[in-house]
Structure 1
């Protein structure tokens, strides 16, 4: 069977390979502490589940409009406007089977083959995969770390813009770094996007997962909503990772293209799930607040233990459910200076802690010398966090 050449350009999300290795280790009779994958072991709020069940019983099990049911599109536009100070209407919203499809559809709508798209590195690996799969040139921009956490290297980003640059992907409240843009960073990014006439994908999957302060969207800056597509997902705020529901929100001319791609790709998103999401947006909000409280407790426990370890330094981000501690000293002391894979395997075998490394979030950039790992705490409770990280602390002290 001949496989199309374009498939060779398609990447993957290698965190799933870590999950498979962890499952095999557990099947062999070992205890595993799953810090590797950003899934959630927190129940979806009861009112959301009941609304979806009511919709099924009411016969909402067939096709629905390709851009999504009007009630949900309208409610989501209102919700986004209230949080971001925007003025979207239902026509600016196209419901998707998850947040991830927004990435590929944005690329298809806005980038021609051979054009360049800037994307964050470290960053979500599907950005690079989709740019290259659709024939574009993926250009990574980097982050710098200071005592407060990670920040976009804006001078480096600006140096990468060429006449062939068509778009930029910005993941504010970032996976894997947990980083968020400052007001100064957002203003500089907006100025660059407008000066160079760039389309912008604003991946705001974690906009509502924050423990202090207030999330701010780049789309709130005058002139940015007209050139930006917001990636929205119900997965995080409502613990609906397996329900697969999200949305693209942006200018009508791009959203119309996304809706046409919906027709070609999946016809429509799941009908009754959309009614569950509608209840999530408009109904009792105690569920999302409880989810945030649980995640904050987990973050605090994990950060405290990580920073008590020899050779580990971990900032405490105010958003997402990821930690990106530096382990340069620990890796060197253990004899794994450049060998992330062996380091992670050694930790799994000796402690049961399953984690991702910096390599799961893009190819290392030129001159990169510091070493990092990523831990997700969305799928492990506080007792598991403490037990697993105490084992890792003993490992670090040896």
Structure 2
């Protein structure tokens, strides 16, 4: 047998362009501190400490007992495709049918498949920054140029900088990634912002990838007249693809179930990629998904969960704003809260936000993510932000975290 001493791992160059979700690195660091016996308050990961609705679990068990364990159509089982189309039609007043739906194993796969379908090498896509890091990662991986657009902080939260967005469009721009009820900032776009984006897309002939994980997690202070999907605006249904996931609304993060909705010419190509990739999304999980979308007990679960999350939001907002140098921004949706910590970092004489995060974690047990985990920063950013996820902590944990965080930060003032 020949020597393997000179063997080199033959990895493709494209892997060097593939990013990750660095929030998981925070989880590892927090885990090591927890292993020492210290209490950790886990605000870093957007996972839920609610159990999947029993009616959905029971439907999955029944599907297994009934033998739904083999292959199914690459586009998804007809009943789930129809249920998801009906759901969007009822919630947003759209006009989808089952043929406009391709079922996916979660929300993430739709991102890369959309890019594979519409972008050639050198094309550009606009993505929100701060934003979900997989937009940028998958664009780079597929040799598409990701171009960030920004939001502006106001007294009432963050708003889209439409001038910045418009200025980034070139003759190579193919699409805009839009994440209403946004991660990490909890941005809830206004009707006016949607209209501006739609006008830009029509003028420049752009597609929209609407990432829709959080529209079922909207709090009571959100103005309902702004509850709108961009696909509903004139001229936008044919140029919008929607990315849905069951993960957030039904506490099904580990089930890996989602779907994309859009014009049939594009959905058919997404399904072709399904055939070449995973073949199909797990059959019995899809059966349970129908129950999630159609059973009143599942809808009640979501309503009750949102009520609980709103209480956590309100408590966390008060707790963080009692910490010197912390300025929390109250979201009207999602389970994320962004906090401006510029003053606290200045008082601690720290300029690196990751060093700030690590120092706070090691001294207080309070674990959160920073601006650095949500896309490449845009030139000219001066304010320092961190994100607290309140999806996996109780009200008592939030209060206890404040009791640990406040005295530690206060000593620098």
With structure 1 as the length reference, what TM-score do the two structures score? 0.98
Residue 389 of structure 1 deviates from its aligned partner by 2.2
After superposition, what is the alpha-carbon deviation per residue over 1:256-309, rounded to whole angstroms, capped at 9, x for unaligned?
011111111111111111111111111122211111112111111111111122
Select the residue among 215, 219, 241 that pairs with 1:229.
Answer: 241
1:8 aligns with 2:16: yes
Distance in 1 between residues matched to 2:295 and 2:193, nearest whole Å: 35
Q: Can you list the C-alpha shifts for 1:59-93, whole angstroms capped at 9, x where unaligned?
A: 11111111111001101101101111110000001
Q: Using the alignment, how far apart are the partners of 1:251 and 1:397 within structure 2?
A: 54
Alignment match of 2:206 (pick from 164, 182, 198)? 198
Aligned to 1:167: 175
Unpaired stretches in structure 2, ≥5 consecutive residues: 1-8
* Equivalent of residue 272 in structure 1, options 248, 267, 284: 284
Equivalent residue number for residue 292 of structure 1: 306
SS at match of 2:48: coil
Deviation at 1:318, TM superposition (A): 1.0
TM-score normalised by L of structure 2: 0.95
Unaligned runs of 5+ in 1: none
Corresponding residue number in structure 2 for 1:379? 392
Q: Which runs of 4+ in 1 moved over 4 A?
A: none
2:263 aligned with 1:261, yes or no?
no
Q: CA deviation at 1:396?
A: 2.0
Bigger Rg, which one: 2
- Which of the numbers 139, 150, 173 marks the counterpart of 1:142? 150
What SS does the aligned partner of 2:327 have? Answer: coil
Report how far residue 2 of structure 1 moved.
Answer: 1.1
| CA deviation after TM superposition for structure 1 residue 383, in Å | 1.1
Partner of residue 62, structure 2: 54
Q: Which residue of 1 aligns with 2:333?
A: 319
Partners of 1:286 and 1:166 lie apart in 2 by 39
CA positional deviation for 1:366 = 1.2
The answer to whether the aligner puts 1:93 opposite 2:105 as a matched pair is: no
Q: Distance in 1 between matches of 2:27 and 2:228?
A: 33
Report how many residues are paired: 397
After TM superposition, give the deviation of residue 390 of structure 1 in Å: 2.2
Q: What displacement does 1:133 show?
A: 0.5
Which residue among 34, 40, 43 is the counterpart of 1:26?
Answer: 34
